Structure 1
Amino acid sequence: MTNSTPPQKNADRVTPLSRPLSILPGISVKNRLFKSAMSEQLADRNHVPTKELIHLYRTWAKGGTGLLVTGNVMIDRTALGEPRNVVLDEESDPSLFRKWAEAGRQNSTQIWMQLNHPGKQIPNFLSTEPVAPSAVPLGNGLEKTFNCPRELTQDEIVNIIRKFAWSAAQAKEFGFTGIQIHAAHGYLINQFLSPHHNRRNDQWGGTLENRLRFLREVYSAIRGAVGKDFPVGIKLNSADFQKGGFSEEDSMQVLQTLQSEGINLIEISGGNYENPSMVGANVRESTIKREAYFLDYAEKARARLQIPVVVTGGFRSAAAMEAALTSKAVDMIGLARPLAVDPHLTHKLLSDGNHKIALKKLTTGIPSLDFMAMLDVTWYEQQLARIGSGKPAKPNMSAWASVLKTLASVSLLSFQRRRA
């Protein structure tokens, strides 16, 4: 059984969601729906795209979404956030990336590659010594599964910047239509921005200007590699929601700096592994009513920016999405988990102004187990695997089934690595 396009109530309905958006002269997105990055975990053992990953993006492209952002593609195969991350480096097979890009461009769709480096957010079964701006371990119980990082040297920082640029140039060559820099959710660039995680006393740390230097250098190198007429966007935290971390005030200054330097689109998110606000942790009741987790921040940012702004997290109904666009708080609506449950959701939202999707609360009833298995992430990865295999998503899959599958997978991987 495959995922088929659903019947449409009114395919010609004109709404704020259906209007195209210009990104650069001659480059536009056909509608205001933006598939935000999700971890797919659909690379093979060599960390290149599989046929399942390619099929997944072809399905999403046929589903009508205007812009698809890939799950985080790592720029260095020695620094993986998860076991089956895609990696784009000198050892990667170009043919499979070309097929991935071609699948994502179907149906006049934009497909942007998200580039990332995890920094210290690498599980200890993948790395005994991760790297970070400073030797500051993750907290909130994560120190049990993530090793304390080693501080990056100057030469290593410069080399990572070079890798970002190299991967971006290859993505353009392979047919991806844009790049998104992942500077959110506690990964390496976000670690540099955070005064909690970045305690350096050289040109890469201390003041916001210094903490921002790494991101500016990454962006500058990428821009130099792809040219001024190729879209480059960024995913940035509104805040880390962590004591002593990257603040809303810092974030506003970063946005304005990036705009002045030519970034083409900004996606707003928030949180990190220690405080996962991006998946709805500690959300206020007023936020739930508006659906979008970071809409208040977006409204403030929108008043200072001229480039497109995207908010991801919380949107569930066509009505709330249209209201956010009409209010001018955002220019695009970011969707992630809803598209993992229904890859054709965009068709339904565009054709029916009353359409909404409900996502169930995921829990085994044992919070520590949910946290250890990263249930809010892995359950959705398993949905993506089903779609990639040509099966329908399974919205009623139990939390217990997901956790058991995750633990079995991690145990198998750890065993294989011990045997290697």
Structure 2
Amino acid sequence: MSLAFEPLKLPNGVVLKNRICKAAMEENLADINHFLAPSHELIELYRAWGKGGSALVLTGHVMIDPRALGSPGALCLCDDLVDADPVYLDRFRQMIDACKEGGAEIWLQINHPGRQTPKALGQVAKGPSAVAVDIGRLSRVMFDTPVEMTEEDIQDVIRRFARTAALAEELGAGGIEVHAAHGYLLSAFASPIANKRTDRWGGSLENRTRLLFEVVKAIKREVKSSKFGVGVKINSADFQRGGFEEQDALQVIETLNTLGVDFIEVSGGSYESPAMRGINLSSRSAQRQAYFLDFAEKAAALSRVPIMCTGGIVRRETLDQVVASGKTIAGIATAIGIMPDLPNRLERGEDPAPRLKYTTSWILSGSVLASATTRQVNYSMERIGRGKEPCPGVWPAWALLMDQVAGLGQASKYKKVVVKYLDERDGRAVKSGKKEE
């Protein structure tokens, strides 16, 4: 039997039935009318992934703050919304249970978008420094220049990560993964490009990564069970001149070794340089599958915990190559996104190599093309959630256009439902003299 289908014991004592993880992908399928809880389509999508053969299923990023979303259709699990709707927590529980029914572990990836908060949401973007996202001509259309976070803001973020993890535990999830990659808040703090601070949260690598480590420590204090898993996703590099580099990532892994995490996922890039989509990589990395395998091998040699290598894995041969070290988990995103039962098929000896039919476009390039390919996968995921067949042949530009149109409606609904509720709640708190956090 391939090593990929041998069990793997994590540091928290949980035994994964194999070494395949359905890696996190942004689904954009929250039910905004129910305050960013999982929609029925999303619950069914996780049911499909749960029975598809993956040992571990990581959710798309679940936001920790309802005023800071990665997209208007992102899930958000936080204390702010618990009392907003009687079905709010139950929807999360249904999603978790649906996935577990098929025999998979489900962990919630939790995140704060930081300066990559979309402008369309009408909320104040916050980041380590007032450094705007630069994706070219569309930068000002899509993102505002962030406000530099205060000490109070930073402490609030630490608290929110911990509370979201605690809620995930209460709802039956097996663990969480802290998203500290792809240019989101924790990744931005670690990057000298986005972080120009001169206080204890900026400057040296130790200071720039302090927020990540404080978040992990707070989560470990907040959750109740030692078996509740804590993973961390980091960039192997920013893939930008002057950014977070491989040597920085290796030092982060050395510190994470001491904090009791259960695995470390390695990826790379950001909205500005989307290496996680195979863009801005070296020709060698881009031409093969498993974009970050070279770094994953270095990380595995240093890490005391399993390393997850995510990005571009499609074929059985690559899967076997990724897990060959004996302590590496294969994170598969797009391929499982469009073929939920891919792990089962691979275990049976099949090698279907599911791919998006069109991954290039004469209209789109760079960061915009990366966004379009994400929307291609979203299109198939939504179809699966509705009980239909996936459609990996949708054109990138068409998928992006459909998403943009839908996003306008989602953003409008988000403001009418979620923001209105928060504003009214905060207004009531001010009048009563007890401003809520």
TM-score normalized with structure 2 length? 0.88
Q: Distance in 2 between matches of 1:130 and 1:303?
A: 38
Q: Which moved more, 1:400-409 or 1:103-112?
A: 400-409
- Residues 126, 146 of structure 2: 8 Å contact kept: yes
Q: Deviations over 1:340-373 (max 9, x none)?
A: 1111111111111644333333344212698189
Change over 3 Å in CA distance of 1:370–1:396 after alignment to 2: farther
For the pair 1:176 / 2:148, whether they are aligned, the reply is no
Equivalent residue of 1:303, what SS? helix
Which residue in the other structure is 1:10 paired with?
Answer: none
4+ residue runs over 6 A deviation: 417-420
Question: How far apart are the structure 2 equivalents of 1:191 and 1:56?
Answer: 31
Residue 273 of structure 1 aligns to a residue in which SS?
Answer: coil
Which of 156, 159, 165 does residue 159 from structure 1 map onto?
156
Cα displacement (A) at 1:403: 2.8
Structure with higher helix content: 2
CA distance in 2, matches of 1:368, 1:94: 40
Cα deviation 1:113-168 (Å, max 9, x = unaligned): 01100001012111353000111111131233200000011011101110111110
5+ long unaligned stretches in structure 1: 1-13
The DSSP-based 3-state class of the residue aligned with 2:402 is helix
Q: Distance in 2 between matches of 1:409 and 1:375?
A: 14
> 1:372 & 1:259 partners in 2: Cα distance?
36
Q: Secondary structure at the match of 1:386?
A: helix
User: Does the CA-based 8 Å contact 1:363-1:370 persist in structure 2?
Assistant: no
Q: Which residue of 1 aligns with 2:280?
A: 282
Question: Structure 2 vs 1, CA of residues 162 and 243 (structure 1 numbering), >3 Å: closer, same or farther?
Answer: same
Unaligned 5+ residue runs, structure 2?
A: 83-87, 421-437
User: Is residue 83 of structure 1 aligned with residue 72 of structure 2?
Assistant: yes
Kept after mapping to 1: 8 A contact 2:266/2:309: yes
Counting aligned pairs with the same residue, the percent is 40
The counterpart of 2:16, out of the listed 29, 32, 48, is 29
Contact 2:239 2:280 in 1 (8 A): no
Counterparts of 1:242 and 1:157 in 2: how far apart (Å)? 25
Residue identity matched to 1:397: V
Partner of 2:90: 95
Are 1:268 and 2:266 matched, yes or no?
yes
Match of 1:3 in 2: none
Alignment counterpart, residue 330 of structure 2, candidates 303, 313, 333: 333
Q: Deviations over 1:388-407 (max 9, x none)?
A: 11111012222343133123
User: In 2, are the aligned partners of 1:363 and 1:375 still within 8 Å (CA)?
Assistant: no
Q: Name the amino acid aligned to 2:74.
A: N
- Determine whether 1:132 maps to 2:119: no
Q: Secondary structure at the match of 2:176?
A: strand
Q: For residues 184 and 387 of structure 1, do their structure 2 counterparts lie closer, same or farther at Cα, with a shift above 3 Å needed?
A: same
Provide the alpha-carbon RMSD of the alignment.
2.0
Counterpart residue type for residue 57 of structure 1 = Y
- Return the letter of the residue paired with 1:38: M
* Contact preservation (8 Å) 1:364, 1:370: no
Code of the aligned partner of 2:372: L
Aligned-partner residue type, residue 63 of structure 2: M
2:375–2:396 contact (8 Å) kept in structure 1: no
Q: Distance in 2 between matches of 1:54 and 1:300?
A: 37
Measure the CA separation in 2 of the matches of 1:195 and 1:233: 24
Whether the aligned pair in 2 keeps the contact of 1:128 and 1:147 (CA below 8 Å) is no
Of 178-187 and 131-140, more deviation after overlay is shown by 131-140
